[in-house]
Structure 1
Amino acid sequence: MTESGDSRHSSNVHQYDASHIQVLEGLEAVRKRPGMYVGSTGERGLHYLVYEVVAYAVDEHLAGHADAVEVTITAEGGIRVADNGRGLSVEVEELTGKSALERELTELSFDSRPRSGYRVCGGLSDVGLCVVNALSSGLTVEVRRDGHRWTQRYEKGSPVTALTRHEETGAYGTTIEFLPDADIFETTRYSFAALSERLQELAFLNGGLAISLTDERPERPVRHHHTDDLRDYVARLTPYPSSLVHSPAIAFESENQSETILVQVAMQWNTRSPGEFRSFVNSTRTRDGGAHEEGFRTALTDVVNDYARRRGQLSPDDADLSAEAVHEGLTAVISVRLAHPVFEGATRTRLGNPEANAYVHEVVGKHLTDWLDHHPNEAASIIRHVLNASTRRETSMTKE
């Protein structure tokens, strides 16, 4: 380094002191760096606000306290989410003098939902409603619980009214209405199609939960309520119903004794499409797969090969059917609910829990074997389909 370079370096060292360190506290940090909390300031981050509020309603459903969620795109372009759960707590904490509701909406805590007593929680970041509040120009919360209706108003994350008790009511639930901050987001226009797709997905993944979506920009209501759970999802993902290898779809679920892992699976083979595989953890899509997918794929291949040999469709001298052949034409959805999910990487789209791999493998091994044994005609069709796929692959490799 030249002498002049040393001089510049020395000067910079002396100029950099404590005054250059900016400490961001609470929701100020969220408003300053929104992409760290919602992924982007574009349409993806905008829609994430909705999904985070809906995740709380889904958590209430999973805890056994809600069976309906109503989402509305308001005429002003904001969002209103109403559920019939227990309602956010309005109890005032002696230590802080704040209501539990206000703390939920203003304090950035990465363990807020486990602290609130949910065994399984949705959402991606676990930072919750406070991030939605921070990134909204205005937010109003209405709670129905403890015999009354309660309301409070916020602007840019800060309360502008006190928590107010209104008329008596025997109803329960929470309604949150917010307007995303146009100073933060590149666009504040919500896509009806994008919201509809995700909400329908949540309805598939959470049986017994009715989810509705209404657009007041013009009036365009749609309601999602699916009683067949993941079977409906698989049917929606299968583009050619006439090409099904078997019907109905295979579906099963199981929860471990400690109630820390719940596995739900639906699957169906067809002859015309390459197949579709989607996996979820606590209702959030795991696009990069991970432990639960690995457990599913390994178990599926093992079960199909074992069944084919037991039924004589594979001889002792035949090689095992490959995973590629077994998965050809398969449409499958696997949903795992975990008390403590661990994700790999910053995108949080790949599950790392080894116990999920082991339990999914165990569940698929047991329940798929039982299904094949109790449906011999459909099972034979599946094995023939896989054998044909294997032959086509071998022929293709020979020609190459």
Structure 2
Amino acid sequence: MSDAENPYDASHIQVLQGWEAVRMRPGMYVGSTSQRGVHRMVFEIACRAVNEVLAGRASAVDVTLTSDGGVRVADDGPGVPVEAAGDNGRPGLEALLTHMHPGAEPGGRHAVAMSLFGVGPCVINALSSRLTAEVRREGVHWVQEYARGVALTAPTSAGPTTASGTTIAFWPDTDIFETAQCSFAVLAERFRELAFLNRGLDISLTDERPPGRSRSVRCSFPGGARDFVDFLGAQAGASVHPDVIGFEREDPRIAGTIEVALRWRGSHEEQLHSYANSEPTPNGGTHMAGFRDGVAAAVNAHLRERRLLTEAAPDLSVDRIGDGLTAVVSVKLDRPEFSGSTRGMLGGAAVRASVSQAVREYLGTWLERHPEQAAAIACRITQDTRQD
């Protein structure tokens, strides 16, 4: 077909102004216009508040699903700077809500990236029919209203206050999303997960939508990954040993920390959950491979020392040793290397070696110092081997 029959010139180029591009292709920014995209919006707004707590600037985060279909996220930190320039290198309120900041929030191991795309609250503002920001800072209560990403007012003083913190409430635009309704269960699961992985985090979720049947859950777990394993194993059958085996270690070789908790239970189900910088890694990666290496090495060494494996017998396989094992493996790295853009698999050969060594050393020592529980674990594993 010739150019004359199918002309293409500058008149065919569409230029989108302001937030039109975001609203025309919302899936590029929140992944979907289904309920999954609405959940991404909640996580994006909650991310800033959660990181305020992890940075020590706030003590708690409160998320509320309001009766009129909105979502309100509040923290008790110092409050987002209202002035345009901001302070401490952080953006002011209007910059936060109108300027895109692509990529995950800086902070390395000390920050959580709760959304896949890390585009910031400004995109949620553009995809909301309305948004209200309230800041309580330095004795003044500030309020600003937005509609579809556009400021309706400048930040306006609503009077004095003795409190501090930031509250952002938004209503997903039903012209864009198939539903504006969030799943309480989905949000609670993710917030609970974050609280398990970050001991200092206190986050609550309240659902005001059911008439006369408001429900809420508070997530705060000082035991960290140990509490997580207890939670995961609550309905997985009786435990082989009473104690959860767990440790946390910093390793400068990977510029990060390793936290591991595990327990063998009576069921044959294996539950292994891995995370990198508090993000789930459903496809595993080097941290999970290192964990499996370390567990296998420690258990096989213990069995040989107790002469439960002969010198001629081969090592038990990782799958055999992992039968009935519930474990959480969490690494927090300053410079995580993910395989692929979705961050579902962690890379980095040094991570595998570091996790393997840490697990092998700690689990080996634990088995030596807890002979009765170690015997129960060994009996379970070797009995299953004999049944084969």
- The answer to whether the aligner puts 1:289 opposite 2:284 as a matched pair is yes
Distance 1:177 1:223 in 2: 20
Distance 1:261 1:21 in 2: 47
Per-residue CA distance 1:261-312 (angstroms, 9 max, x = gap): 1222111111224121111222221111122212212222122212222332
Corresponding residue SS for 1:280: strand
Return 248-257 or 26-35, whichever deviates more.
26-35
Match of residue 29 from structure 1: 21
RMSD: 2.5
Per-residue CA distance 1:234-265 (angstroms, 9 max, x = gap): 12222546521111211111223489412221
Cα 1:380–1:137 shift into 2, 3 Å: same
Per-residue CA distance 1:51-83 (angstroms, 9 max, x = gap): 122222221222122231111110101101111
- Partner of residue 269 from structure 1, selected from 233, 239, 264: 264
Shift of 1:345: 2.4
Shift of 1:119: 4.1
Match of residue 111 from structure 2: 120
Percent identity for Structure 1 against Structure 2: 46
Corresponding residue SS for 1:253: strand
Distance 2:302 2:19 in 1: 56
What TM-score, normalized by structure 2, do the two folds share? 0.89
- Partner of residue 329 from structure 1, selected from 324, 328, 331: 324
- The answer to whether the aligner puts 1:61 opposite 2:53 as a matched pair is yes
Distance 1:24 1:210 in 2: 41
Shift of 1:174: 1.5
Per-residue CA distance 1:125-157 (angstroms, 9 max, x = gap): 221212221211111111222332222221112
Per-residue CA distance 1:171-195 (angstroms, 9 max, x = gap): 3322111100101111111222222
- Partner of residue 173 from structure 1, selected from 165, 170, 187: 165
The one-letter amino acid paired with 1:58 is V
Cα 1:16–1:343 shift into 2, 3 Å: farther
- Partner of residue 185 from structure 1, selected from 177, 180, 183: 177
- The answer to whether the aligner puts 1:79 opposite 2:71 as a matched pair is yes
The one-letter amino acid paired with 1:319 is P
- 8 Å contact from structure 1 (residues 27, 130) kept in 2: no
**Matched residues, number:** 381
Cα 1:29–1:379 shift into 2, 3 Å: farther
Per-residue CA distance 1:326-370 (angstroms, 9 max, x = gap): 111011112222223332224322222444333322322332223
What TM-score, normalized by structure 1, do the two folds share? 0.87
- Partner of residue 91 from structure 1, selected from 68, 83, 87: 83
- 8 Å contact from structure 2 (residues 54, 201) kept in 1: no
Return 310-319 or 17-26, whichever deviates more.
17-26
Query: Which one has the bigger helix percentage?
Result: 1
| Aligned 1:113-262 pairs, distance under 5 A | 113-114=105-106, 119-123=110-114, 124-218=116-210, 219-240=214-235, 243-257=238-252, 260-262=255-257
- 8 Å contact from structure 2 (residues 104, 117) kept in 1: no
- 8 Å contact from structure 1 (residues 343, 350) kept in 2: yes
Q: Unpaired runs of 5+ in structure 1?
A: 1-7, 396-400
Match of residue 385 from structure 1: 380
Cα 1:274–1:194 shift into 2, 3 Å: same
Distance 1:286 1:201 in 2: 13
The one-letter amino acid paired with 2:146 is Y
Distance 2:374 2:17 in 1: 59
Cα 1:150–1:231 shift into 2, 3 Å: same
Corresponding residue SS for 1:15: coil
Following TM superposition, where does structure 1 have runs of at least 4 consecutive aligned residues deviating by more than 6 angstroms?
none
